[in-house]
Structure 1
Amino acid sequence: MAAIALKGQLASKIVPKNGSISVIYIKTSSYSSDAKLNLAAYKRGTGGRSSFNGIVATVFGCTGFVGRYVCNKLGKIGTQMILPYRGDFYDAARLKVCGDLGQVLFTPFDIRDEESIARAVQYSNVVINLVGRDYETKNFKFTDVHVEGPRRIARICREMGVERLIHLSYLNAERNPKPLVMKGPSLYKISKFLGECAVKEEFPTATIIRASDIYGSEDRFLRSIASIWRRHSHFLPLYKNGEATIKQPVFVSDVAQAIINAARDPDTRCQVYQAVGPKRYLWKDLVVWFYRLMRKDEKWGFAHYDMKYDPILFPLKVMLANKLSPAYPYGNLHWEGLEKECTTDVVDHNLPTLEDLGVTLTHMEDQVPWELKPYRAHLYYIDQLGEFPKPPPPPVYAE
Structure 2
Amino acid sequence: MSTAALQSSKRSLVKLRTFTLHIDCAYASNDASIRSSPKQSSSSVTYVGDNLPINMGLNEVKSLRLTDMRRGGGGRSSFSGIVATVFGAQGFVGGATVNRLAKEGSQIIVPYRGDVYGLRELRVLGDLGQILFTPFHGKDEASIRRALEHSNVVINLIGRQSETRNFSYDDVHVKMARTIARLSRECGVQRLIHFSALNASPNPPAIIFRKPSKFLTSKYAGELAVREEFPDATIFRPSAIFGNQYSDGFIAYHFSRWVRPLSYLRVPLYASGEKTVKAPVYVTDVSNAVYAAVREPMSVGQTYEIYGPERYQLRELIEYCLRYMRRKSIITPLTPDVFAKAIANYTFHKSLYNVDRMQCAYVSDTYTPGLPTIRDLGIEPTKFSDAIGNIMASMRKSGRYVENPEDFIIPDPPKPVSQEFELSYNVSYP
Q: Give the TM interval when normalised to the shorter protein.
A: 0.7 to 0.9
Using a 3 Å threshold, how does the CA distance of structure 1 residues 90 and 352 change in structure 2: closer, same or farther?
same
**Residue in structure 2 matched with residue 273 of structure 1 by the alignment:** 304
Indicate conservation of the 8 Å contact 1:226/1:375, yes or no.
Answer: no
Gaps of 5+ in 2: 1-54, 57-61, 420-430
The one-letter code sitting in structure 1 at the alignment partner of 2:368 is D
* Paired residues for 1:34-113 under 5 Å: 37-113=64-140
Structure 1 distance, partners of 2:413, 2:84, is 39
Which secondary structure state, in structure 1, belongs to the residue aligned with residue 204 of structure 2? coil
* Mapped partners of 1:335, 1:54: distance in 2: 44
Name the CA shift for 1:132/1:36 in 2 (closer, same or farther; >3 Å).
closer
- Structure 2 vs 1, CA of residues 99 and 384 (structure 1 numbering), >3 Å: closer, same or farther? same
SS at match of 1:386: helix
Per-residue Cα deviation, 1:145-181 (whole angstroms, up to 9, x for no partner): 1000000000011111111100011011010122111
Q: Which residue of 1 aligns with 2:411?
A: 391
Kindly indicate whether residue 377 of structure 2 is the aligned counterpart of residue 348 of structure 1: no
Instruction: Answer yes or no: is the 8 Å Cα contact 1:222–1:372 preserved in 2.
Output: no
1:231 maps onto 2:260 in alignment = yes
Q: Following TM superposition, where does structure 1 have runs of at least 4 consecutive aligned residues deviating by more than 4 angstroms?
A: 320-324
Q: Which residue of 2 aligns with 1:314?
A: 338
Aligned to 2:315: 284
The equivalent residue for 1:251 is 282
Between Structure 1 and Structure 2, the one with more helix by share is: 2
Give 3-state SS (helix, strand or coil) of 2:372's partner: coil
Aligned residue in 2 for 1:366: 386
What's the C-alpha RMSD, in Å, of the aligned pairs?
Answer: 1.8
Is 1:195 the counterpart of 2:219 in the alignment?
A: no
* Secondary structure at the counterpart of residue 406 of structure 2: coil
Q: Secondary structure at the match of 1:92?
A: helix
Q: What is the aligned counterpart of 1:220 among 227, 249, 255?
A: 249
Does 2:322 correspond to 1:294?
no
Query: Residue 292 of structure 1 aligns to which amino acid in structure 2?
Result: R
1:264 aligns with 2:288: no
Q: Which amino acid aligns with 2:319?
A: V
Q: Deviations over 1:287-344 (max 9, x none)?
A: 11111111113xxxx111222xx2x3221222445567x2x63xx4221221111110
Taking only the aligned residue pairs, the percentage that are identical comes to 43
Q: Is the 8 A contact 1:239 1:342 kept in 2?
A: yes
**SS of corresponding position for 1:106:** strand
Give the distance between the partners of 1:37 and 1:317, measured in 2 at CA.
Answer: 58
SS at match of 1:372: helix
Normalising to structure 2: TM-score of the pair?
0.79
**For 1:210, which of 224, 237, 240 is the aligned residue?**
237
Q: 1:241 aligns with which of 272, 281, 301?
A: 272
Correspondence for 2:177 among 150, 157, 173: 150
Report Cα offsets for 1:244-273 as digits up to 9, x if no partner: 111000001100110011111222101111
Residues 31-82 of structure 1 deviation map (CA, whole Å, 9 limit, x = unaligned): 96xx983111111111110010111111011111101001011111010111
Give, in whole Å, the separation in 1 of the partners of 2:188 and 2:63: 16
Q: Are the aligned partners of 1:237 and 1:305 in contact in 2 as well (CA < 8 Å)?
A: yes
TM-score, normalization by structure 1: 0.85
Identify the structure with the greater strand proportion. 1
> Relative to structure 1, is the Cα distance of residues 380 and 164 closer, same or farther in structure 2, using a 3 angstrom cutoff?
closer
